[in-house]
Structures are given as structure tokens and as C-alpha cells.
Chains A and B, each alone.
Chain A
Amino acid sequence: MHCYETPYDVIVVGAGHAGCEAALAAARMGCSTLLLTINLDAVALMSCNPAIGGLAKGHLVREIDALGGEMAKNIDATGIQFRVLNTRKGPAVRASRAQADKQLYRLRMKRTLENQDQLFLKQGEVTGLYLEGGELRGVDTRSGIRFIGKTVVLTTGTFMRGLIHIGLTNYPGGRAGDLPSVGLSDQLRQLGFEIGRLKTGTPARLDRRTIDFTKLEPQHGDSPPQPFSFSTERITMPQVPCHIAYTNPRSHDIIRSGLDRSPLYAGVIEGIGPRYCPSIEDKVVRFPDKERHQTFIEPEGLETVEVYPSGMSTSLPIDIQIPFYRSIVGLERVEIMRPAYAIEYDYADPIQLHASLETKRIRGLYHAGQINGTSGYEEAAAQGLMAGINAALAVKGRAPLVLGRHEAYIGVMIDDLVTLGTKEPYRMFTSRAEYRLLLREDNADLRLREHGHAVGLLPEGEYAAFLVKRELIYSESIRIAASRLALDDSQVALLESYGVHDLQKGVTLEHLLKRPEITYEQLTELDDVSRETPAIIREQVEIQVKYRGYIDRQLEQVERARSFESTRIPESFDYAVVSGLTSEVREKLIKNRPGTLGQASRIPGVTPAAISVISIALKMRGDGKVAGR
């Protein structure tokens, strides 16, 4: 093994969505960073759908941006359709989604990596960690080079022992067209990590020229398109539509006729797949009464004829795939350019991680993305960002950044992962967040910019712009609380036209804005200053006034939970000697090793009674006594 002459602060293994964020964060924080990938032409490749965002995922992207990550800027520069979902629901559950030009997305990210100071991008397959006396020192590669690093971030995606299935045919691969990573997960297992197997799948890519779009319903993006990043002024890419198509009972018959050769149903696939992203054969089997399933035909880019039929992933053999896709109205003559497939891969249950994403077993080793059992580009990127930040902080001898469940979806996700582990691919949903009204896309900067700045990731210019915005929101909130309306005849008439009748003279603008009939837009007709307020300030002020009751209610809950969340359980804490725990609870706690009482309370089966027992034991320990008896 040839030892490379330059040592690094941070080595990132894998240049997918997690790896790119991890490497950029570490380098931007001033750490010399090596990013290793099996294939330099597949950096930030969107292996599955050509889209970023969606419910809860859009929230993650905005949070990544607020902290100083790259994903939002990258999609803003390469997105070809932008939509805000749930616009008819409240602000907390509105979410952004965009179609990406896949090639442009990957190339822009690669360019960003290449242009980043302190970041070194190299091709190489990591076959193992290099350890000396149990201490992590670096990584070894297939080509015989050993790289020395203080910390290592593993973002292996679907590559560790990746196995591709098309019908009963299967072969090793990290993704269609790429080699798998062999050896690394075996070593992790030898080091004592619990390694499991997951499965995911992707639909065929179809030739746009062989689809009759006149038979499909187009779906256009928003106009004007709204960017993800707080720093993007406007979207400049050309915008294109998606199209909606449906399966029919004949499609389902074709699927059923191939089930005997489904690797899933034949038991060839051992890995557990995502329930929220089932293959079409899963949908047909589990919901036999449903007469049609919807698909969005999404463009893969502006310069390619490839399109992606969402929701139509399958691992059935190719002779079933062809008639199946052709059974869909509008797709009668469709040509498959790349077949659909399922892929199985190794992951390490994230219960083996600290909340910093550092492994409990090996100091300096971090896991992010699909290796942690998650699915989705956004989930991966968010973990990559946090792993990169925390690896860099560790190099600098600083405490890790751990976001709370009340601060960010990122905090919810990582807490879920490290507290509960996962046995199936984990995806973010807004329903996973107990403080959903606090965790909105619109206030991600208010929640997280300070953190991004404190760790040294956020550029000064972006931070300065944020401070101005925050000040404007504050002063406008003060102003509308103090501004009173004289209620002259024209104002009364105007308000009556909005259905507001029973107002007293001297009512404040804030009071008026609280009324469901009144929006900030309407305030501008009553008040000159309001007209001058920028849209992003209006939005914040309006949301904060209209939802204050609920927001306050959630803030109270956060406050109540704070003592739990801040009570640390020392790593050396011995559950075995704490009396009063049932053996079942004791086992769970010994396996999970929660870092705080709050974490412990979220482990299923750990009862409030058990939590009070532990808190008593902790107090007694604090008093210099032995826990329990």
C-alpha cells in the first residue's frame, strides 16, 4: 500500500448528495478535505428521480441552505420546473419542489467542488478504513493508495455490496452502470458494526419521442418560479412541464402475470424496501381494488429525450416491463432506454451513532446518507452537511453541532435515526416533527443562520443580509403592534367590503392582521408604510401574527421538554444496576445508549415511569451516590 504524502483533516468517501455537502462544509470551514468517489463522472448524480424537494424534503433543503450548504443553490441554478406544494394549506406544510436537469445538476456541483479551496476531488474505491491500534488513521483504496486523515465520513449510498435485480437476473453494481464497493462493509462488520441490508428501486427511463403527450395531462410549474435558496434572487433556467398518466386494469394483469419471476416475491431479495415508495408490483398486490395508479412523466433534462415515470419502479423481468409500460394510455409505443431495477445494499443501523453522526464505536468516523438507512437526496445531503460540519469541528477541537427537534427537520431526522435506528429506508415526513408549526420552510433562516455562522460555514455576506432581514421583521412587528388606525369613513368602507364590521377606533394593525379576513396585502390599502415593506418581511410578519396562538403553544411544549432534552446521560451510565427498570426496558436502553433523557423517552417501550426512575438514578449519581442500589 502506497501512503500518499499529504495528510488530510477530513476524508469523505463517496461523492453523492451526502458526500458533496460533507466535503464542501469541511473545506469551507477551513479543513483540508479529500473527496473520494468511485466515478468522477457521477458526482452528485441523481440516481433515481430527477427532482429535489417535496413535503418535508423541501424543508430539509431550505435548512441546508440556511446553514450554508449547497443543495438549494445547485437546484436553483439547474431546476427546470418549480412548484410550491400545499399552497391551500397553512404555511407550515407548504413545501418547495423542483425538477432538475440531471446532467446540469451534477456538472454544477462538480464545478463547485473543483473550485472550492482546500477541497481535493479524486477518483478511487475505498476498500477499507486504515486503523492503527484501533484508532482511525485514514482509508485504503483499490488502486493501492493509502490516504491519511484525521476524520473519515462514509457516504456510501447504495454501493456497499450493491446487488442489482432485474427479474431473476442479478449482478453486483453500485448503481446501473457503476461498480459496487466491495470489502468496506465486511471490514465494518469485523470492527463490530451491525450491518443490515436494504432495498430500493427505480423505474425505467423512457424515450420521450415515443410518448403521445396529447393523451396526457400536462402539469406546469409555478410562475414565477420560487427559488429554494435564501440567497437566490431569481430562477433563470427555462421551465418545462411534467405530464400525468395512469395505469389501468390491463397494466395490473400484466404485472400479476410476472409476479412469479419477481425477485421480491420469489424471495431472492432479502433487503427491506421503503413502504412509502413501493414498486408497482407492490401497489398492485397490496391494493388490488385500486383500478389505476398515477404516474408523473418527469423530464430528466433539457438536452435529453429521457423521461422518468415516477411511482412506476419495478424489479420485474424486462419482458414484463416492456408490455407493462406500453399498457399505459399515451405510452403505447414507448421505448425503454434504461430498464427498471431494484438494488440491495448494505447499511449500518444508525443506532450505532452519536447525535453528531460520529460512530460510537470508532472515534473520528462519521456516517451519512443511505449508509444510515435513509432514502432521498435531501435526507442524505442534510446528514452529509452535519457530518461534514461535525468532522471539521472535531478537527478544530470544538464541540459538535447537534440541532434540536424544535429547531430543524434535520434535528428531528438525526434524533430519530440515532435514537430509534431504522429497519427500513427512512424518509422525512412532516408528521415526524412534533413542533411542525415552528419548522417552516419560510423561517429556516431565522432558525438556523446563527448556527451556520457560529460554526464558520456561512459566508459573511449571507449572514449580513440575514441580520438585516431579521431586524426588518422585528421592527415591522413592533410597528404594526403600535400603529393605530383612525378608521375614517373610507377605511371603514374598505374593511366592511372585506367583511370586517365591529372595529373600534384606534385598532392596531396587528389586531387587524389577526383577523382571518385580513391579509397583509390588505393592510397596504390602509397604511402607507405597509406598502413599502418587502414581500419576505410581510410574509414573516403575517405568519407570526396569524399563527401566534399555535406557535406559542408549541414553544411552551418545547420549554417543558427542555429539562429532559438537556439532561445528559453519561456514556458510562450503568443501566444494569438501576433498580426499578423492567428487563425489557433495561435491554433497550443498553442497546440504544441514549445521550439524553429526552432521547431515552422517545425509545418505544421506555415508559414515563422508567424515565423518572432514570432521572432519580441520575440525580443520586449527581449527589455522589451510586445509581440504584
Chain B
Amino acid sequence: MSMYIEDTIAAISTPPGQGGIGIVRVSGPDARSIGRRLFRFARGDDFASHHLHYGVITDDAGGDAIDEAMAVLMSAPRSYTREDVLEIHCHGGLLVVERVLAVVLKAGARLAEPGEFTRRAFLNGRIDLLEAEAVMDVITSRSEASLALARKQQDGALSRRIGAVRDSLRQALALLEAFIDFPEDDIGTADTDAIRNYVYRSCIDIDSLVSRFDEGRIMRDGIAALIVGKPNAGKSSLLNLLLGQQRAIVTHIAGTTRDIIEETASFGGLAVRLLDTAGIRHTDDVVEQEGIDRALECIPLADLVLFVLDMSRPFDHEDGLILSRLSGKTVLLVCNKSDLVVDTGLPPELDAFERCMVSSHTGQGIEELKARIRSTFLGAGVLDSREFVAISRARHRDALVSARQVLAGFLDGLAGGRELETLSIDLRDALDAVGRVTGETTPDDVLDIIFSSFCIGK
């Protein structure tokens, strides 16, 4: 990684998929010359920094036009990466944006690695490490909620929570070190109860932070919800209702959906990838069988299974086939066609699952279903809470998990009467792990606590 400051990188900086506009961003010393070569100005022939220019993007100097475009050059250091940054705003069709990127790469830029713009911003001192990580999350966030979380992290809420863990561990270490370094001072014998209490307290805090890690991941990455059900239970209608648009082809012919359809929606801030599957039944149709197999294969990968039951028909063998694959999964029963017939003859195995009554025909119950999906993962009102802190980076989680493991060993050792100086190694390791997120603990930090807690000195 020693070379990248020298070269010029480029990437599509708008999210993949259809959009009104697509942006190709170029950063590095050649950004301006690449821009001048590919961009045909409607007026003038060079960029004024931080001015939006209108023109045409071409496939090479004097070459064919690819698209109408707007282009802006932000000269170093007044840019996100503190390098020269060129942005080409073109029409949002994926093909067009990819074509523009291709000509930029051909003109001498290198395709950026994921997050490389932010890494440059960080390396060039534009932002610090925690900011950089939070910005990475902003870039990839797909919904308002993950934006909110990312912003909270930038504000340091996470740092404060982990800081509290660090403070408890420092107190414990100071107590322990005092009994090692000052055997002749009148400070009594090692207060193992107090040491244990400090460590317990930090373990509880770590556990709570780690358990929220999943919420953090869910808010950033969203969840995968698999819609399953026997043929013609109304899965595709449900998908369309949840999306609020016609996406899946809906017919009354069982087995219409043969592949898996994937769409993303946002329910109250939770990004949900909805996977619609082929109806599951015994079939002789090879294509349909393939779809069913894929649906069953998807079950273990899904965060949530929406099990659609056709309430106008009795629970039958095919429903049972699905049910047999759902053990251990988070399942929401979607009782469809509840407007047609009320058939309450459901088997007792289903009692364990939460259920929602909907009508994919009238749309009744859809909003409740969305709310239920959201609350299953995020808990009611949790997004509004100012206290909400989540660890949204695997790095943080790893640091806390490894600290937690070391501390478990520490507590065993303390109970088993292990030497203080080997116990101290555990505490220092835990502090180092936590320090990877919050900053280190120096020996002087520990001595400060000792001198302020004990009357030391001969």
C-alpha cells in the first residue's frame, strides 16, 4: 500500500442500480488532465475549481460523445481526499455510468479499491480513523437509520461507552499494580473483591455493547427476509404490497415464480432485502423444481422467514414440508387471504411463531406486518433513543470480544489464586484490546490512579 498516494483512482460513487444521476469520481494528480481530455466543455476549455461545468463526456480526446454531463473539479487540498478530485455527473443508467468509468480508466486512472477515497482522506489528514470508519458506513448505508447510527458514532457515543469500560479496567489494574509495586507501603492486602467488581462491571458493559453489535450490523447491512409458502399462497402479491410496486408477475397459475426475486425496501428505517421464492410443492416440472430447491437452500441464509399461509385452504402436506425446514429460524407467519375464509385449523407446531393477518388482495394488515418485521430486529422505539449505541464495525466487535475472552480467563485466575503479575498481563491485554477502539492506556495513566487512591511514599 505504499504506492497509492502517487496514482489516480476512479470509481462510481453513486449506489448501483437505477438512479436519476450517476457520478464517477476521480482522485489523484491526473484528475484534471483526465477531465480535460474526456470532457468537452460547452463553454471554455478548462476547469475552474469548485465550479460545475456543463458539456459532453467523450470516449477519448476528440472522440465520440457518450453522454451529456456535468463535471466539477475540486483542486487539492480543498477536496474530500485533499487531492485533485474530479466528479463527472452523468445520466443514471448503469450502462452509461459504467461506460464513463471505463473511459476514465482507459485514460490512466486505476479502479479504486472499496473505501479507498476515504482511506486517502484519512491518510492525507482530512479525517481521523474513527471518522473514516463512520464515513465508510455512511457511504454504504442504505437507509436513514444507518445514517443516524453512523452520525452518532461520529459524535463519539460509542467512544464514550467503551471509554467507561476502559476506565473500570484501569481502576482494576491500578489496584492490582499497587499491591505489586508497593509491598512496603501501608496499603493492606490485595483487595481482590474490589478488583473483581471492576472487572465484572466492565464485562457487563462489554456484553451489552457486543449484543448491540448485531443491531449495528442490521442497521448498516439490513436484513434478508425470505418469503416462502406453498404455490399460490400469495407470496408474490405480498412482495408487491411490501414494495408498494408491481415487481413480481402475479398470476393465478401455481408455480409462476420460478426463480428468486430480490428487492430492497425500507421499513421504518430498517433496510430489508425481500427474497421471493418459488412456491414449494412436489413437482415434476424441472425448472420449477430448481426454483424450489433454491428457495429451500436460501432458508438457512435468511435473517427472517416470512411463511405465507393461505388461510382459504387447509394446512396441508406442502405447508408441512416447509415447516419441517424452519427449525431454529426467526419466522413470522403471514396468514394471507384472511379476508376470504377464516380457517383456524392450524397445527400446534405453529403456535411458537408470531403471526400477522393480511390480505394481499385488499392490502389490509400490510402496515402492521412491516412494523412487526422492523420491531423483530430493532426493538420498539430503539432508534429514537438517545442512548442507542451500536458497534457497527467488525473491528470494534472483535476488540471487545477478545477483551471479554481475556477477562473471563482473568476472573478464573483471580478465583483460583493465580499470581497478581500474571493476572496483570490479562488486564493489560484486555486494556490493549479495548484501546484499539478508544486509545491506549499508558503506565502513567495507571500510576496516576494509584497515587490518587493510595497514600504511597517512603
Listed in ascending order, the chain A residues whose CB lies under 8 Å from chain B are 49, 54-56, 85-86, 89-90, 92-93, 97, 274-278, 283, 286-287, 290, 292-294, 296, 310-311, 429-432, 434, 436-437, 547, 550, 553-554, 579-582, 602, 604, 607-609, 613, 616, 619-620, 623, 625, 629
Q: How far is the CB of B186 from chain A (nearest CB, A)?
A: 4
Chain A neighbourhood of B177, CB < 8 A: 429-431
A609 engages B128 (CB within 8 Å)? yes
Cβ 8 A contact of B186, one of A92, A275, A293, A629: A293
A85 with B183: CB separation less than 8 A = yes
The answer to whether A623 touches B123 (Cβ under 8 A) is no
The reply to whether A581 and B125 contact each other, CB–CB distance below 8 Å, is yes
Cross-chain pairs A/B with CB under 8 angstroms, 8 sampled: A89-B180, A97-B184, A277-B458, A293-B186, A579-B82, A579-B125, A602-B442, A629-B5
**A286 touching B455, Cβ below 8 Å:** yes
> Per a CB cutoff under 8 Å, which of A85, A86, A277, A429 touches B457?
A277
- Which chain B residues border A582 with CB–CB below 8 Å? 125, 128
B458 in complex: contacting residue of A286, A311, A430, A431, CB < 8 Å: A311
| One of B143-151, B273-281, B302-310, B420-428 at the interface | B420-428
A278 touches B457 (CB 8 A): yes
Contact A86 B455 (CB under 8 A): no
| Residue pair B183, A86 in contact (C-beta under 8 Å) | yes
Q: Which of A294, A429, A547, A613 contacts B181 (CB 8 A)?
A: A429
The reply to whether the CB of B191 lies closer than 8 angstroms to some CB of chain A is: no
Which residues of B approach A to under 8 Å, CB–CB?
Answer: 1-2, 5-6, 82, 122-125, 128-129, 177, 180-186, 419-422, 424-425, 428, 436, 439, 442-443, 446-447, 451, 455-458
Query: Are A276 and B451 CB-contacts (below 8 A) given A55-B182, A607-B439, A623-B2?
Result: yes
Given contacts A90-B419, A579-B124, A609-B129, contact A554 B425 (CB under 8 A): yes
Q: Considering the complex, give the chain B residue whose CB is closest to the CB of A601.
A: B440
Chain B residue numbers with a CB within 8 Å of A93 are 180-181, 420-421
Please give the distance in Å from A71's CB to the nearest CB on chain B.
19
Which of A54, A547, A581, A629 has the most chain B CB atoms inside 10 A of its CB? Answer: A629
Q: Are B125 and A431 in contact, CB atoms less than 8 angstroms apart?
A: no
Question: Are B82 and A430 touching (Cβ within 8 A)?
Answer: no
What is the chain B residue whose CB lies nearest that of A298?
Answer: B458
User: In the assembled complex, which residues on chain A have CB atoms less than 8 Å from the CB atom of B5?
Assistant: 579, 616, 620, 629
Closest to A412 in B: B443
> How far is the CB of B334 from the nearest CB of chain A, in Å?
48
Bound-complex Cα distance A97 to B182 (A): 13
Point out the residues of chain A lying under 8 angstroms from B436, CB to CB.
608
Which B-chain residue is minimally distant from A628 (CB atoms)? B5
Contacts of A430 in B (CB 8 A): 177, 180-181, 421
- Option from A89, A311, A613, A619 in Cβ contact (under 8 Å) with B420: A89
Contacts of B447 in A (CB 8 A): 275-276, 429, 431-432
* Most B CB within 10 A of own CB, among A92, A602, A623: A92
Q: Which residues of B contact A554 (CB under 8 A)?
A: 425
In terms of DSSP, what is the predominant structure of the interface of chain B?
A: loop
When the two chains form the complex, which single residue of B82, B123, B421 contacts A89, counting CB atoms closer than 8 Å? B421
Q: How far is the CA of A355 from the CA of B182 in the complex (A)?
A: 29
- Distance of A434 from chain B, by nearest CB (Å): 7
Q: Tell whether, in the assembled complex, residue A276 and residue B457 are in contact, meaning their CB atoms are under 8 Å apart.
A: yes
Q: Report B-chain residues with C-beta under 8 Å of the C-beta of A86.
A: 180, 183
For the A-B complex, the count of residue pairs with Cβ-Cβ distances under 8 Å equals 119
Contact residues of A: prevailing secondary structure? loop
Q: In the complex, A12→B421 CA distance in Å?
A: 39
Give min CB distance, A411 to chain B, whole Å.
14
A90 to B419, CA, bound (A): 6
Task: Report the separation of the CA atoms of residues A554 and B182 in the bound assembly, to the nearest whole angstrom.
Answer: 23
Query: For B422, what are the chain A residues with a Cβ–Cβ distance below 8 Å?
Result: 90, 437, 547, 550
Knowing that A276-B457, A429-B177, A607-B129 touch, tell me 9 more A-B residue pairs with CB under 8 angstroms. Answer: A85-B183, A277-B458, A278-B456, A283-B455, A310-B458, A430-B177, A430-B421, A436-B421, A582-B125
List of B residues within 8 angstroms of A625 by Cβ: 6
Choose one: B124, B443, B455; the contact of A431 (CB below 8 Å): B443
In the assembly, what is the distance between CA of A429 and CA of B449, in Å? Answer: 14
- Which residues of the other chain, B, contact A623 by a CB distance below 8 angstroms? 2
Q: Is the CB of B125 within 8 A of A290?
A: no
With A90-B421, A310-B458 as contacts: A431 and B180 at CB distance below 8 Å: yes
Tell me the complex Cα distance, A616–B122, Å.
13
Q: A49-B458, A277-B458, A604-B442 are in contact. Are A580 and B186 (CB under 8 A)?
A: no
Note all chain B residues with C-beta closer than 8 A to A434: 428, 443
A432 to B439, CA, bound (A): 18
Rounded to whole angstroms, the CA-CA distance of A293 and B424 in the bound complex is 28
Most chain A Cβ neighbours within 10 Å, of B82, B128, B177, B425: B425
Q: Who on chain B is nearest to A618 by CB?
A: B2
Contact residues in A for B455 (Cβ distance below 8 Å): 278, 283, 286-287, 290, 293
CB pair B128–A437 under 8 Å, yes or no, is no
Closest 5 CB pairs of A and B: A90-B419, A294-B186, A431-B177, A310-B458, A580-B123
Residues of chain A within 8 A of B184, CB atoms compared: 54, 85, 97, 296
Across the interface, do B458 and A92 meet the contact criterion of CB distance under 8 Å?
no
In the assembled complex, which residues on chain B have CB atoms less than 8 Å from the CB atom of A287? 455
- Tell me which residues across on chain B come within 8 A of A294, comparing CB atoms: 185-186
Docked Cα-Cα span, A56 to B428, in Å, equals 19
CB neighbours of A608 from chain B (8 A)? 129, 436
Check B2–A619 contact: CB distance below 8 A: yes
Residue in A579, A581, A616, A623 whose Cβ sees the most chain B Cβ within 10 Å: A579
A278 to B421, CA, bound (A): 26
Can you name the residue of chain A whose Cβ is closest to the Cβ of B416?
A516
CA distance A286 to B452 in the complex (A): 8
- Shortest beta-carbon distance from B375 to chain A in Å: 38
Q: When chains A and B are docked, how far (Å) is the Cα of A302 from the Cα of B186?
A: 27
Kindly identify which residue among A275, A553, A604 contacts B451, using a CB–CB cutoff of 8 Å: A275
Assembly CA distance A294 to B187 (angstroms): 10
B181 & A431 in contact (Cβ 8 Å cutoff): yes
Smallest CB-CB separation from A287: which chain B residue? Answer: B455
Measured between alpha carbons, how far is A56 from B182 in the docked complex, in Å?
10
Interfacial chain A residues near B182, Cβ < 8 Å: 55
Residue on B with the closest CB to A429?
B181
Q: CB distance A580 to B122 under 8 Å?
A: yes
- How distant is the Cα of A430 from the Cα of B428 in the complex, in angstroms? 13
| Residues in A whose Cβ lies below 8 Å from that of B451 | 275-276
User: Whole-angstrom distance between the alpha carbons of A629 and B420 in the complex?
Assistant: 49
Question: CB distance A620 to B2 under 8 Å?
Answer: yes
Instruction: Tell me if B181 and A56 are in contact (CB < 8 A).
Output: yes
